[in-house]
Amino acid sequence: TDTATPPAAAEPKSAHGRAKAPEPSAPARAPRRSPAGAVGPFTAALAVLHTDGVWLPDGTCLPLPERLEHAGHLAELVHELNLGTATSPRTSEPGQLWVTPEALLELFDLNPESDELDPAAWLGEMSAQTSGSTLVDGALADGWELGGRTAGQLSRWTRIWKGDRRGVFIVLMSLIKADPSTWPTLADDPSPAVFARRMQLLADAMQFPFKVSAQTTGLDLASACRVKDRKEAFAPSDPCPPAEIPNVEADHNWVRKPTSDESRMRFVHAFDRGGSYAGAVAGLEMGIGDPEHVDGAVVFDKKLPGYWLIDRESWEDWRVPHPLNLRADANDGQVWVTTPTMEIASELGLSPTIHQAWVWKRHARVLDGWYARVRDARAALDTEDPDEQAARDQLKTVYTRLIGNFGSEALWRGRKGYAPERRHLIVAKARANLTRRFMQIGRDSGVWPLAVTADTLLYASDEPDPVKAWPGLDKSYGRGFGQFRWEASGLMSEHLQYLDPELDDMRSGRWLGKSSLSTEPLE
């Protein structure tokens, strides 16, 4: 395919079709070709089809194909451009063609009738419009086959193939709601070229493309990183009784009243622990297959991932939250906890009686490969470049949504990846790691937290500079997984109202003042 710059009269549009300021054209180049049967090299992971051409991640704009009548021609374009992602020396993921809303309207005469539709209705209307259209029927008549739940329609992501040719993905951007929390790469309404670059940066960093959704990408990446026993390791679990308890393990959310000395200090500084959940994955043993129930006399074995039914243990140190974070709804003074919680209990000198357990005799560090890939990708994207920052934020959706959806009844129950016990283990280990850190800081410096949440520690200080006020070790301050960095600050005089758990609106003992802090430097 010959390359060309966009026609001079073409007005650059955003990835969602609105006009954008013109961007400098990149030098045109011909796409690379792969030898037959080879995994790579590929030209790129994706391209974006717009009204003015086909945009590649390096800024090249190729002219629209002469034949662009149906979805099969879109798939042919993916093959011709040699799009895809090499995920290992022997494996790869299919290429993707993203179609902007304006391209869908102008090239195929398809567009939702209303801009006010909610995402579910938008998806239904747009998919329905593709049914019976030339876009779909022409492809079916030409021998192409479409994946998806509804036959004869295109959806947000549609796999399309013909004969023994590998399937590729067609993505309709009309069906993507650019919510910043879900789609950081689309949040600032980028041009097609910028969006393509961001998604390529993400694919390069992960060595895996974003596909279908954040949670699907996370699970498929985890599966790709677990070559040995992959099928068994991610088979859907049939939860044992304690795994059915939604919050059998939960984050800290605690506050205490300052001492007289602390209340006279001028400032409070909050420090955020980066990648608290993802960092907890490293080295975490997870069960494979079904657990074994042990009743009667039970001895704790920290090598076995599982659930342990223990007596509630009291905690007398008012300076920190109860390290086991035991739920208030425990029956008969007994409560289920997971292995990481039992480990931290032992480290702190607690020895709760165990009445029964569910443990996995077969286990492994199932997500270690996934953790390493995500950790390295996050480090690679941690720069000042706006596109790499957007890709890094998109990466965050990948690892947070995977962990959250291990226990999702609505999305995953009965399907690959469903394992609520894994989420419980990760939450418990993240909380235990946070406990270890604030206990170590307290022992070393004599400085104890005023409040603790899932990934935030709040400290009192007379130092206005939060970096200098950090009471922990230098090596634990930074931007990596498990390290802390400044999050926000406030004046002690203004924040005292949030530091009394006996106030009427604070009887739960939770810290409700985090949102009142400022991210602006203090004078």
User: Across the chain, what does the average pLDDT equal?
Assistant: 86
pLDDT of residue 28: 36
**260 Cβ contact list (under 8 Å, min separation 6):** none
**pLDDT tens-digit readout, 31-58:** 333 333 434 589 999 999 999 999 999 9
Closest by CA to 377, choosing from 275, 450, 295, is 275
DSSP H/E element including 304: none
Q: What angle do CA 358, 322, 409 make, to 5 degrees?
A: 45
* Average pLDDT per 10 consecutive residues for the chain, totaling 523 residues: 36 49 38 40 95 96 92 95 93 95 80 49 54 80 84 84 93 85 93 97 97 95 91 90 91 94 96 94 95 91 96 89 75 87 94 94 95 95 96 96 87 87 96 96 97 95 96 94 94 93 62 90 72
Torsion of the alpha carbons at 344, 232, 373 and 476, rounded to the nearest 10? 0
**9 vs 5: CA distance, rounded Å:** 11
Give the SS3 label for residue 122: helix
Sorted by sequence, the CB contacts under 8 Å of residue 489 that are 6+ apart come out as 267, 268, 269, 270, 466, 517, 518, 521, 522
CB atoms within 10 A of CB 155: 21
Residue type at 208 in one-letter notation = F
Residue 429 has a pLDDT of: 97
Question: Do residues 401 and 313 touch, judged by C-beta distance below 8 A?
Answer: no
* Per-residue model confidence (pLDDT) at position 439: 97
Q: Could you give the count of Cα atoms lying within 13 Å of 350 in the half-sphere of its Cβ?
A: 20
- C-alpha neighbours within 13 Å on the C-beta side of residue 137: 7
Distances (CA, A) of 516 to 162, 373, 489, 495: 57, 36, 9, 8
pLDDT of 425: 97
pLDDT of residue 34: 39
**Pairing mode, if any, of strands 53-55 and 46-50?**
antiparallel
Q: What is the rounded distance in angstroms from the CA atom of residue 402 to the CA atom of residue 222?
A: 9
Secondary structure letter of residue 519 according to DSSP: S
Cis amide linkage into residue 41, ω under 30° from 0: yes
Annotate 227-237 with b (16+ C-beta within 10 A) or e (fewer).
eeeeeebbbeb
Tokens representing 500 are: 């009394």
Percentage of the residues of the chain whose pLDDT score is greater than 90: 66
Show the 3-state SS of 420-470: HHHHHHHHHHHHHHHHHHHHHHHHHHCCCCCEECCCEEEEEECCCCHHHHC
Q: How many residues does the chain have?
A: 523
What b/e sequence results for 420-432 when a residue is b if at least 16 CB atoms lie within 10 Å of its CB, and e otherwise?
bbbbbbbbbbbbb
Whose structure tokens read 């992959």? 230
pLDDT (tens digit, 9 = 90+) per residue, 477-522?
999 888 999 999 999 999 999 998 776 454 467 898 899 999 987 7
Kind of pairing between the strands at 96-99 and 46-50: parallel
- Return the pLDDT at 109: 65
- Residues 505 and 498 sit within 8 Å (Cβ to Cβ): no
Tokens of 284: 């975490």
Instruction: Give the pLDDT confidence score for residue 128 in this predicted structure.
Output: 59
214 close to 223: Cβ distance less than 8 angstroms: no
User: pLDDT per residue over 245-265, tens digit each?
Assistant: 888 999 999 999 999 999 999
Q: Token match 């980066």: residue?
A: 274
Helices 386-405 and 192-206, interaxial angle, to 10°?
A: 60
Predicted local distance difference test score (pLDDT) of residue 236: 86
Alpha-carbon distance values, 477 to 161, 226, 470, 480 (Å) = 49, 31, 8, 9
Give me the residues paired with residue 145 across strands: 161
pLDDT of residue 57: 97
| pTM of the full structure | 0.87
Residue-wise pLDDT for 129-139, tens only, equals 666 677 888 89
DSSP tag of 324: T
